[in-house]
Structure 1
Amino acid sequence: MLKSIQEWVFVLVIIGAVILIGNWVGYDVMPVDAIPGIAVLALICLTGLIIHKLLPFNIPSIAYIGILGFVLTIPGMPGQEKIVEWTAQVNLLAIATPILAYAGIAIGRSWSDFRKLGWKTIVVGMCVLLGTFIGSAIIAEIVLRFQGII
């Protein structure tokens, strides 16, 4: 388990650094301001992964991470105000970008597994991407027209 924890810490540090840079470049949040929030998020993730490894239940680790984050930010919980203050300095898109990039790299390393899924997976993926793009464009059009911007 120690090897797994070392790997998780390594990945979380890399992703944290990329989030820090993305948050700074894309959202003008100084790295010094965002470091506490990124550290808290990384610790919550690491704790959730450890809990997943220790408990015998067949529940995904993301459930433990989400529950832990939820419990730690319940109003009245000790330290809740600081956790919310720190994590408010980290933009969601700055978090999503490196995580999705990491997922893409992980899929890219296992092309043989991806190939086993067949050509239908590519068609479904393209339809999902196209649907998401068109849906986002329609929602943006409606909201911008409603606000009188366009």
Structure 2
Amino acid sequence: MLKSLKEWVLVFIIIGAIMLTGNWIGYDVLPWNALPGIAILIGISLAGLIVHRLLPFQLPSIAYIGIIGLILTIPGMPGAEQIVMYTTEVNLLAIATPILAYAGVSIGRSWFDFVQLGWKTIVIGMFVLLGTFLGSAVIAEVILRFQGII
């Protein structure tokens, strides 16, 4: 577990640096303003990964991360207002960019496994993405028309 913890911390430091840079360049938030929020998000993520390893339940680690984040930000919880104040300095897209890049690299490392799935998987994936996009567009169209915005 100690080896995994060291790897997680290293990955979080790298991703945190990329998030700081993306938040600064893309959204004009100075790194020292966003650093406490990023540190909090990294701490919550690290705690969720540790809890995932320690508990015998078979829940994904993202569930533990979400639960910890939810509990820490419940109104009235000690420190919740400060956590919310600091994390609002971090833009969502500054978080998503390095995570998606890491996911892309992970897929790229197992390209052989991906190719083994065959061309049918690619076609199905394209249909899933197309269906998700069209479904979202239809729902947005209906709601915006219902509200009289368009």
TM-score, normalising length from structure 1?
0.88
Deviates more, 1:113-122 or 1:128-137: 128-137
Q: Deviations over 1:7-62 (max 9, x none)?
A: 00011111111111111111111111100000000000000000111111111111
Q: Distance in 1 between matches of 2:20 and 2:83?
A: 17
RMSD: 2.1
Label 1:24 to 1:131 Cα distance change in 2 as closer, same or farther (>3 A). farther
Partner of 1:49: 49
The runs of at least 4 consecutive aligned structure 1 residues that moved more than 3 Å come to 128-140
TM-score, normalising length from structure 2?
0.88
Q: How does 1:1-150 map to 2 (within 5 A)?
A: 1-134=1-134, 139=140, 147=149
Q: Distance in 2 between matches of 1:98 and 1:127?
A: 26
SS in 2 for 1:15: helix
Give unpaired runs (5+ residues) of structure 1: none
Deviates more, 1:12-21 or 1:117-126: 117-126
Deviates more, 1:40-49 or 1:128-137: 128-137
Count matched residues.
148
How far the C-alpha of 1:125 sits from its partner, in A, is: 2.1
How far the C-alpha of 1:128 sits from its partner, in A, is: 3.2
**Amino acid in the other structure paired with 1:4:** S
Q: Deviations over 1:58-101 (max 9, x none)?
A: 11111110000000000010100100000000111111111011
